[in-house]
Amino acid sequence: MLAAHTEASSVSHPSGSMYVIGGLTEGVRTSAVEILPNEGTQWEQATPLEEPRSRACSSASHDTSMAYYIMGGATDAANATADIKWLSAINHVWHSGSPMAQPRKDHACLLVELDGIVGFLVTGGVDADDNVLDSAEFYNIAADEWRSMRRLRVGRTEHGEDTRGNKSKLLLPVKEKGEKP
Report if residue 177 sits inside a domain. Answer: no
Its pTM stands at 0.84
Does 132 reside within a domain?
A: yes
Contacts of 156 (CB under 8 A, 6+ apart): 108, 123, 124, 125, 132, 133, 134, 170, 172, 173, 174, 175
Give the confidence band of 60 by pLDDT, cuts at 50, 70, 90: confident
Taking 50 as the threshold, does the pLDDT of residue 150 lie above it? yes
Asked whether residue 179 is domain-assigned, the answer is: no
Confidence of residue 65 (pLDDT cuts 50, 70, 90): low
The residue among 119, 126, 121 whose CA lies nearest residue 136 is: 121
Number of domains in the chain: 1
> Considering the domain boundaries, does residue 181 fall inside one?
no
Give the pLDDT confidence score for residue 141 in this predicted structure.
Answer: 92
Domain that holds residue 76: 9-171
The CATH number covering residue 135 comes to 2.120.10.80
- Per-residue confidence at 172, pLDDT binned at 50, 70, 90? very low
Q: Are 172 and 162 in contact (CB under 8 A)?
A: no
Among the listed residues 167, 123, 131, 126, the one whose alpha carbon sits nearest the alpha carbon of residue 149: 123
